Structure 1
Amino acid sequence: MFCQRRDSTNVAKTAMVNCELNRAIPALGSFIAVAAATAVLFSVSSAAPQQAGSETAIHLITVEPGIYHSVSGQDDLRLIRRYFQGASWELPISSETWQQLRPLGISKIRLINVESGSAVQFEAGKKGPQFNFSSLLPGLQDCRNYGLRPHIIVGQGPQIALVIQEDGSSYGVSDWSRYEEYAYAFLKFVMVEQGFSQADFEVANEPDINGASWLTPEKLPMGAQAMYEAYFQLYRAWATAADQLIREHPELKLRIGGPSITPHTFSFGKFNWAEHFAKDVAAQKLRLDFFSYHFYGNNAALTGLPTFGRSPSFAVQIDTIRNSLSTAGLGNVPIYLTEWGPSYVTTAIPEGIINGNQVGAAWTARFFMEMAASKIDEGMALTLRDHFDPRRLENGWAWPSFLLSDGVTPKGLYNVALMFSKLPGQRVRASDAEGSIGVLASADKSKLGVLAFNQDWDYSNSKERAITERMEIRISGLPFPAARVRVVRYLVDATHSNAYHFYQQGMPIDQANVGLTTVEEISLPVIAGVVTLPRVDLAPSSVTLWEISAERKS
């Protein structure tokens, strides 16, 4: 299951239990100051471990701040930040929640489950349909309050007034011209009447695994060609409506995209939705402003790690999508991961709990680098905050999100994203690392940052495959003059910057240090233009960030 689906009753229950949690868990104040935002860059690294006699093997990493590096062909760090600057919205954002989200640079929210099935209404004495879009207002109000770009899922369910009634069942669309009127009115309401001159619209949610099953009279096998054909008609209606609105209001920055699919048809059957969607959009000359895709860590392996499951690796999947777009003449269409996370399992079992602990946090660090290497254009985490678990009367840890359900407490995943937001300048060269280790470095004229992760989780057996690795970092040629440098080291692992650890220890979250933890502050000499950082042991499923700057004279 790749997404959250619930009815209005469940929304109300979720809101109620979140209120209960807010009473039970006092809100944390802002816990961290973030360096001024600069355009940041990164690099995946891997250097073969060096043997030092009988000592543990050591990864020797050389960082060269004077040499710019990019795997994406653009500013890698600026690109990576686009991957965590949005997520799905489900509850109103309080001012306290917003204070926690601001350091990540959140700039957009994905409004899912906000489309009402009774938006189209026919009233006696009135010509044509009337429209009621009040269900959109709470999400749009948060976008207005915090300057966020709305990204709205459309076509998620039927319009009751327009369904086909047949043999006691209802499904699909009885009048496509009327449905296009509805789609046009929806887009116009958001962009013209509500004044959002920039907005994104994503047609349906995971139709390849029956996320749009309302379109057909019977339930079809996942990935079915008949389901695809029904979905494509839906996409055409929304793309046509978008074109109409843009013709009338060319000043609007409207983006519409699809097919919002999963890796399912990379693994099962011979009908690949990505390939057919690209071909059909091009053949019918439909508007496509982004190709949307969903990926989770338990779908398939990342580059350099053992394969598992039926699906090809993430990199192969993206290459296939990009080749399909290019073959169809759509090579410039951006690829947008509108859902990502360490695991699509959102229940409190081992496969899902990794979304709440250091395992998912370390996977996220690797995945950010992988997305940049695959030239992904944008991304969104599944949710801004966890759900509250009404059965256990506690936080639901197994959601790929930034904050706990109290809306203020950061998770390990949040702290890893914060590490990336703290990196200075642009990505610079770092020697390669191998296996479970990855290294990235960046610099500007006053600061240097080095980030390293140790990540190799066995998804097939839900156990750690990485071992503790020792690393030494040598920096050759600082980007600023200094006789000595100040080094600050931050850590996310099983016991640091990890709210789940404190939960396991039975410690009240409001009494725990769950923000990004500083574990070391030292002064080091610069010798012949080189700084050598002390050797550190990188624990399995850990992420480390070093910040290096010139030591101020007292």
Structure 2
Amino acid sequence: MKLPFYLYAALLVIVVGACKNHPDGTSADVTITVNTDHVRGPVNNAWAMFGYDEPNYTYMKDGRKLLSELSELSPVPVYVRAHNLLSTGDGTPALKWGSTNAYNEDENGNPVYDWSIIDSIFDTYTERGMKPLVEIGFMPKALSVKPEPYQHKWRPGAPYNEIYTGWAYPPKNYEKWAELVYNWVRHSVDRYGKEEVETWYWELWNEPNIGYWQGTTEEYLKLYDYTSDAVKRALPTAIMGGPHSTGPSWDKAEKFLRTFLDHTSKGKNYKTGDTGSPVGFIAFHAKGGPRLQDSVILMNMGTQLRDVSKGFEVVASYPEYKNTPVIIGECDPEGCAACSMQDYPANAYRNGTMYSSYTAASFSRIYDLMDHFDVNLRGIVTWAFEFENQPYFNGYRDLATNGIDKPVLNIFRMFGMMQGDRVEVSGDLAYNYLTVRDSSVRGKERDINAMATINDSVATVLVWNYHDLNVITSPERVKINLENLPAKNVILTHYRVDKTHSNAYELWQEMGSPQNLTEEQYAMLEEAGKLQQLDKVKSIRIKDGKVSIPLDLPGQAVSLLVLKW
């Protein structure tokens, strides 16, 4: 009888585990060496960027709470990107929708600007020391060449193309659009100050190579020229970039990205008639592709990394853009944050440790690809936020559910403690970044690997045990050897995300998956969602700059070792 793949994988774990023997408690299945003398490059905190479709969630109760947590976990200002900042409406949120009513026209066709909702959004960011990655879009109803129907009525399970309504079309008047942008930037400078707004990123539209833009490529390039000119007229030192196109591993998306870079570097500017347009950063997106295999979730990290790799390759092929910052404007395991697990069962990965271990493993490989192509990676935007007043753990791609943090948020808390320089990690490991890019993590062996950093007084090691197939395996014995530590004694703190640590989802299930929580249950889940230590803090003697730290690491678990001196 032929076994399904997931039963074969589970049986393999049992057999291999039975063959392993650790009589003295010190032998290891995997040994990882961290050489703190071999610096790979600075930690640039590229992970400290997040985004979402629904901008009006920003200033709502749980939105404000989550933004505060994101700000607190990061040692640098967090950048936030949101869709629908210029969409027409009264500010009532809906899935994949939001509005600010920033632009209307009077009976004579004269512009009427109203910045009150946008101010509420940006005030919420700046009050927390955060910064907007300003997405200039979408098209106000009064400017759209096809205004009706305007607001879409999309719901999970409906065809995705139903969202592309009047907001997705070009303007009927490019000059009026440009004046809207100019006045928005000027208002921002007046409200927040020139020095602050100079640190923001401004970009035009979202994924203009697919249905989000219902015009032609040439019309998008024209709109970019008018938009960038307006931004620069209002604030010459503003950072303007784009195009936030979809994953470049798709041939048509690569062609669009190259067309954009060709136009901005040597094409004729539609607005000024000069050569080229300003590009302060280059942005594209990267997505994976989970599915079910014999009722078990099977991720596809390789698909996402191939998008990243091709995007870096494209940018690196333009000498004039060699040092231009690159932002992966949406970087996620798949493409629809508002699609729940009820309609897409594979999206259940979002609730537990599959999402958290995937994030640790994939972000490390993105840094590896940055080094490989020698590009200036500035940001990795995780397109996940929260969905206000939705069922608990409904399988949306979010970082928290009704104010309860999901395990994945604790990976970003771990990232926040990794400062200084990235250092070399080596060992006889089953996967490297190129293997994962080309083949994903589909072999019999699991991806047990690490990312490490050091500064003047702290070394950190992020260790994960990941596989694309969501089978929670027995713990692997891992030994971390650190070399050339500049200390004689260290204080070790071990943080963990797994089934029983930093995991409100598992506790919620143990409670019976309630949707009506008591105050006591909510408090327990809120506490369970925070980052937790695995062991007590330890003092360790360092001999000749070396120390070995053993740990047992279950499948889909992530550990962070913090050594201070």
Q: Tell whether the structures are fold-level matches, with TM greater than 0.5.
A: yes
Of 106-115 and 522-531, more deviation after overlay is shown by 522-531
Q: Deviations over 1:404-450 (max 9, x none)?
A: 232xx322111111112123543333323333122122233433322
Q: Deviations over 1:82-132 (max 9, x none)?
A: 312443453216665454223322532223222133644443679x53433
The secondary structure found in structure 1 opposite 2:496 is strand
Residue 12 of structure 2 corresponds to none
Q: Which of 415, 425, 430 is the aligned partner of 2:425? A: 430
Residue 257 of structure 1 corresponds to 241
Q: Deviations over 1:8-29 (max 9, x none)?
A: xxxxxxxxxxxxxxxxxxxxxx
Unaligned segments of structure 1, at least 5 residues: 1-48, 216-226
Cα distance in 1 for partners of 2:254, 2:335 equals 23
Matched, 1:368 2:380: no
Unaligned segments of structure 2, at least 5 residues: 1-15, 89-100, 149-164, 269-275, 292-297, 371-376, 432-446, 513-520
Cα distance in 1 for partners of 2:262, 2:558 equals 41
Given that residues 200 and 254 in structure 1 are in contact (C-alpha distance below 8 angstroms), is that contact kept between their aligned partners in structure 2?
yes
Given that residues 339 and 382 in structure 1 are in contact (C-alpha distance below 8 angstroms), is that contact kept between their aligned partners in structure 2?
yes
1:54-93 alignment to 2 at 5 Å?
A: 58-65=29-36, 67-70=37-40, 74-75=41-42, 77=43, 79=44, 81-88=45-52, 89=55, 90-92=57-59
Cα distance in 1 for partners of 2:172, 2:39 equals 55
Residue 113 of structure 1 corresponds to 84
1:105-184 alignment to 2 at 5 Å?
A: 105=74, 106-117=77-88, 119-123=102-106, 128-161=110-143, 163=145, 172-184=170-182
Q: Go from structure 1 to structure 2 and tell me whether the alpha carbon gap of 1:503 and 1:241 turns closer, same or farther (over 3 Å shift).
A: same
Matched, 1:419 2:414: yes
Shift of residue 395 of structure 1? 4.4
Q: Deviations over 1:241-293 (max 9, x none)?
A: 123223xxx4xx42222211112x63365972111111111123111111122
Given that residues 449 and 546 in structure 1 are in contact (C-alpha distance below 8 angstroms), is that contact kept between their aligned partners in structure 2?
yes
Q: Go from structure 1 to structure 2 and tell me whether the alpha carbon gap of 1:286 and 1:425 turns closer, same or farther (over 3 Å shift).
A: closer
Residue 282 of structure 2 corresponds to 291
Shift of residue 299 of structure 1? 8.2
Residue 183 of structure 2 corresponds to 185
Q: Go from structure 1 to structure 2 and tell me whether the alpha carbon gap of 1:369 and 1:245 turns closer, same or farther (over 3 Å shift).
A: same
Q: Go from structure 1 to structure 2 and tell me whether the alpha carbon gap of 1:125 and 1:398 turns closer, same or farther (over 3 Å shift).
A: closer
Shift of residue 141 of structure 1? 1.8
Given that residues 93 and 142 in structure 1 are in contact (C-alpha distance below 8 angstroms), is that contact kept between their aligned partners in structure 2?
no
Q: Go from structure 1 to structure 2 and tell me whether the alpha carbon gap of 1:457 and 1:378 turns closer, same or farther (over 3 Å shift).
A: same
Given that residues 476 and 530 in structure 1 are in contact (C-alpha distance below 8 angstroms), is that contact kept between their aligned partners in structure 2?
yes
Cα distance in 1 for partners of 2:456, 2:60 equals 37
Q: Go from structure 1 to structure 2 and tell me whether the alpha carbon gap of 1:523 and 1:134 turns closer, same or farther (over 3 Å shift).
A: closer
Cα distance in 2 for partners of 1:545, 1:471 equals 13
Residue type at the aligned position of 1:197: V
Residue type at the aligned position of 2:286: F
Residue 35 of structure 1 corresponds to none
Question: How big is the alpha-carbon RMSD for the aligned residues of Structure 1 and Structure 2?
Answer: 3.5
Matched, 1:498 2:503: yes
The secondary structure found in structure 2 opposite 1:544 is strand
Given that residues 81 and 132 in structure 2 are in contact (C-alpha distance below 8 angstroms), is that contact kept between their aligned partners in structure 1?
yes
Given that residues 115 and 135 in structure 1 are in contact (C-alpha distance below 8 angstroms), is that contact kept between their aligned partners in structure 2?
no
Q: Which of 327, 332, 336 is the aligned partner of 2:327? A: 336
Cα distance in 2 for partners of 1:121, 1:314 equals 38
Given that residues 361 and 464 in structure 2 are in contact (C-alpha distance below 8 angstroms), is that contact kept between their aligned partners in structure 1?
yes
Given that residues 341 and 355 in structure 1 are in contact (C-alpha distance below 8 angstroms), is that contact kept between their aligned partners in structure 2?
no
Cα distance in 1 for partners of 2:211, 2:317 equals 23
Cα distance in 2 for partners of 1:382, 1:429 equals 29
Q: Which of 514, 517, 526 is the aligned partner of 2:529? A: 514
- TM-score (norm: length of structure 1): 0.72
Identity %: 20
Residue 313 of structure 1 corresponds to 306
Shift of residue 500 of structure 1? 1.7
Shift of residue 466 of structure 1? 7.6
Q: Go from structure 1 to structure 2 and tell me whether the alpha carbon gap of 1:178 and 1:69 turns closer, same or farther (over 3 Å shift).
A: same
Q: Go from structure 1 to structure 2 and tell me whether the alpha carbon gap of 1:335 and 1:470 turns closer, same or farther (over 3 Å shift).
A: same
Residue type at the aligned position of 2:392: E
Given that residues 384 and 399 in structure 2 are in contact (C-alpha distance below 8 angstroms), is that contact kept between their aligned partners in structure 1?
yes
The secondary structure found in structure 1 opposite 2:559 is strand
Of 371-380 and 420-429, more deviation after overlay is shown by 420-429
Cα distance in 2 for partners of 1:124, 1:243 equals 30
The secondary structure found in structure 2 opposite 1:82 is coil
Q: Go from structure 1 to structure 2 and tell me whether the alpha carbon gap of 1:150 and 1:496 turns closer, same or farther (over 3 Å shift).
A: same
Q: Go from structure 1 to structure 2 and tell me whether the alpha carbon gap of 1:373 and 1:64 turns closer, same or farther (over 3 Å shift).
A: closer
Residue type at the aligned position of 2:225: R
Q: Deviations over 1:486-509 (max 9, x none)?
A: 432211123321222122222634
Q: Deviations over 1:36-65 (max 9, x none)?
A: xxxxxxxxxxxxx9xx98668621223333
Cα distance in 2 for partners of 1:430, 1:487 equals 19
Cα distance in 2 for partners of 1:524, 1:184 equals 58
Q: Which of 417, 434, 454 is the aligned partner of 1:443? A: 454
Given that residues 39 and 424 in structure 2 are in contact (C-alpha distance below 8 angstroms), is that contact kept between their aligned partners in structure 1?
yes
Cα distance in 1 for partners of 2:496, 2:305 equals 32
The secondary structure found in structure 2 opposite 1:394 is coil
Given that residues 491 and 516 in structure 1 are in contact (C-alpha distance below 8 angstroms), is that contact kept between their aligned partners in structure 2?
yes
Of 284-293 and 341-350, more deviation after overlay is shown by 341-350
Q: Go from structure 1 to structure 2 and tell me whether the alpha carbon gap of 1:511 and 1:115 turns closer, same or farther (over 3 Å shift).
A: same
Instruction: Number of aligned residue pairs: give it.
Output: 455
